Amino acid sequence: MDIGELSLRALRQGVVAKKFSATEVVRYYISNLKKNESSIHAFITATEEGALVQARAVDDKVASGEPVGELAGVPLGIKDIINTKGVLSTGGSKILRNYIPPYRATVVERLLNQDAVVVGKNNCDEFAMGGSTENSGFFPTSNPWDVTKVPGGSSGGSAAAVAAGSCAAALGTDTGGSIRQPASFCGVVGLKPTYGRVSRYGLMAMASSLDQAGPFARTVEDAAYLLQLMAGWDKHDATSRAEPVPDYLTEFKKPIKGLRLGVPQEFFGEGLAPEVKQIVEAAIIKLESLGVKVVPVSLPTMPYALAAYYVITPAEVSANLARYDGMRFGVRQPGQNLYEVYTKSRGQGFGAEVKRRIMLGTYVLSAGYYDAYYRQALRARAAIKADFARVFEQVDVLATPTAPTTAFELGSKANDPLAMYMQDIYVVPVNIAGLPAVSIPCGFSQGLPVGLQLIGRTLGEGDILRLAQVYEQATEWHTMRPGISGQ
């Protein structure tokens, strides 16, 4: 038996049945992590000691016959933008290179309450702004399938760590694709829940009206299991949703026959790499053969989504990042007066992309430009939402490519923000409309993974997960592992 191939539930069951100990599981993953880090660089902080202490506590509980949680001994990576009490949490930014939070995010709290073990904090683009993890203030992460390629972003460290087998699963955040696009590039499952399904408390805010945390896993079942344990109302987040969390693993058992799968033509046009298009179309044909009814649909507002996103997001970023002033959080640069402390701390602490968005955001919100940009973007947002709502009267789930290409060369788009933003074309509409979506592996193009995006209606996680699960069961893509070069 290979510990590295066991599902999260099987890991827990093995620990409870004393087939192996939590310590053995955690040692197994930590040894992988150490081996992988020299070529992948998926972690800003590895928490080996803390992980072993947590694992021992689980083993003690098992030994004394105490009940253990649903994630007993399961080793997780956590994106560094998610606050972990007592453990460095930088958000990928130099301005927080010394920040040790005095509290933890609700999502972390909930998973720790289930006896999960944190093996480390994953690298990410600075404050989640980017699509390649090259905007990390510390170092870029490599794609385990080809170390000369990016892992995607912004949660690239989480995706790469799961793909490389450095942890059993991981958490990321998705404001405009940051879970799904790296999942697609690294050949793993990445799930962005409905806005509000999961608490945002303790996530470093990027764009508060769009941010959601979600899981990365090797299988749909593992992702559903983690979502189950993370989701639900939280008194610390007024935007969290009060609807009861369904049992996603039972939803799997519902038949998919008759489920209507919409294929929106706007997601298959210009810019989509021909091989990616072919692979995604083949996946849709596969789903049809499994019993879903494929329906061509149209979402005519899609061409406005990227522009609206790149107005709304910087606007919210410019407000949210005002808190990093060198006074209350992170690194303070000395100065002659308060103004100089602010400008030096922010000037030296933030990277180029963050500064670009703060400036853009300040501009689109400023008097005289607000109506032309921000208000227009909000109008586009309302139209996009209405467009999806209309289509979801005809179909239950939408299928699209997750990204227009496979993982690109490290460095190839780093100095071209617009080319980087174009990568987000199929993922951002989902955040704008607040919908749930999952990316699952559906093939390879020249040795690099391709992702299929399944989008659900509001709180339709159950539908997209059961469809994803049926596809996964009928294919082999999720069983493929990268042979990491450079080891």
State the Cα–Cα distance between residues 447 and 144, nearest whole angstrom. 11
37 burial via Cβ count (<10 Å: 0-12, 13-18, 19+): middle
Residue of 89, 93, 136, 154 marked active site: 154
Output 136 or 173, the one with its CB closest to ligand GLN: 173
Report in angstroms how near the CB of residue 202 gets to ligand GLN at its nearest: 16
Interaxial angle between packed helices 461-474 and 220-230, expressed in degrees from 0 to 180 and rounded to the nearest 10: 160
State the Cα–Cα distance between residues 288 and 361, nearest whole angstrom. 43
- The 3-class SS string of 362-430 reads HHHHCCCCCHHHHHHHHHHHHHHHHHHHHHHHHCCEEEEECCCCCCCECCCCCCCHHHHHHCCCCCHHH
79 is catalytic: yes
Q: Cβ-closest residue to ligand GLN?
A: 178
Q: Under the criterion CB under 6 A, does residue 305 sit at the interface with ligand GLN?
A: no
Q: Under the criterion CB under 6 A, does residue 177 sit at the interface with ligand GLN?
A: yes
Closest listed residue to residue 188, CA positions, set 157, 164, 217, 155: 217
For tokens 């794609």, name the residue: 143
- x/- mask, ligand GLN, residues 424-463, rule CB under 6 A, reads x---------------------------------------
Report in angstroms how near the CB of residue 128 gets to ligand GLN at its nearest: 3
As a dihedral over the C-alpha atoms of residue 391, residue 396, residue 400, residue 402, rounded to 10 degrees, the angle is 110
- x/- mask, ligand GLN, residues 380-419, rule CB under 6 A, reads ----------------------------------------
Q: In the set 92, 130, 196, 462, which binds ligand GLN (CB under 6 A)?
A: 130
Q: In the set 151, 165, 176, 462, which binds ligand GLN (CB under 6 A)?
A: 176
Report in angstroms how near the CB of residue 177 gets to ligand GLN at its nearest: 5
Report in angstroms how near the CB of residue 134 gets to ligand GLN at its nearest: 11
State the Cα–Cα distance between residues 53 and 117, nearest whole angstrom. 9
Q: In the set 54, 84, 175, 240, which binds ligand GLN (CB under 6 A)?
A: 175
Of 99-107, 141-149, 167-175, 275-283, which segment contacts ligand GLN by CB under 6 A? Answer: 167-175
**Residues 145, 178 contacting (CB under 8 angstroms):** no
Output 15 or 124, the one with its CB closest to ligand GLN: 124
Q: Under the criterion CB under 6 A, does residue 301 sit at the interface with ligand GLN?
A: no
Output 99 or 426, the one with its CB closest to ligand GLN: 426
Number of shown-chain residues binding ligand GLN (CB under 6 A)? 14
Amino acid at 135: N
By residue count, the chain amounts to 487
Residues with Cβ < 8 Å from 398, sequence gap 6 or more? 261, 262, 263, 264, 297, 391, 454, 455
Residue of 178, 199, 240, 318 marked active site: 178
Q: Under the criterion CB under 6 A, does residue 154 sit at the interface with ligand GLN?
A: yes
Output 73 or 314, the one with its CB closest to ligand GLN: 314
Q: Three-class SS of residue 414?
A: coil
Output 178 or 184, the one with its CB closest to ligand GLN: 178
Report in angstroms how near the CB of residue 317 gets to ligand GLN at its nearest: 9
* CA 20 to centroid of chain Cα atoms: 30
Token output for 215: 């899981």
Output 179 or 464, the one with its CB closest to ligand GLN: 179
Backbone torsions φ then ψ of 274, nearest 5 degrees? -55, -40
Token output for 94: 């130099």
Of 11-19, 60-68, 97-105, 127-135, which segment contacts ligand GLN by CB under 6 A? Answer: 127-135
- x/- mask, ligand GLN, residues 187-226, rule CB under 6 A, reads -------------------x--------------------
Token output for 7: 């599902």
For tokens 């608490």, name the residue: 199
Report in angstroms how near the CB of residue 453 gets to ligand GLN at its nearest: 14
State the Cα–Cα distance between residues 147 and 266, nearest whole angstrom. 32
Of 124-132, 372-380, 385-393, 460-468, which segment contacts ligand GLN by CB under 6 A? Answer: 124-132
Q: In the set 313, 318, 400, 469, which binds ligand GLN (CB under 6 A)?
A: 313
154 is catalytic: yes
Output 224 or 437, the one with its CB closest to ligand GLN: 437
Angstrom CA distances, 174 to 60, 75, 383, stand at 36, 21, 21
Query: Using only C-alpha atoms, what is the Rg of the chain?
Result: 21
CB 100: neighbour CB atoms within 10 A?
13
Residue of 61, 79, 94, 413 marked active site: 79
Token output for 322: 């005002």
Contacts with ligand GLN, residue ranges (CB under 6 A): 128-131, 154, 173-178, 206, 313, 424
Write out the catalytic residue numbers: 79, 154, 178
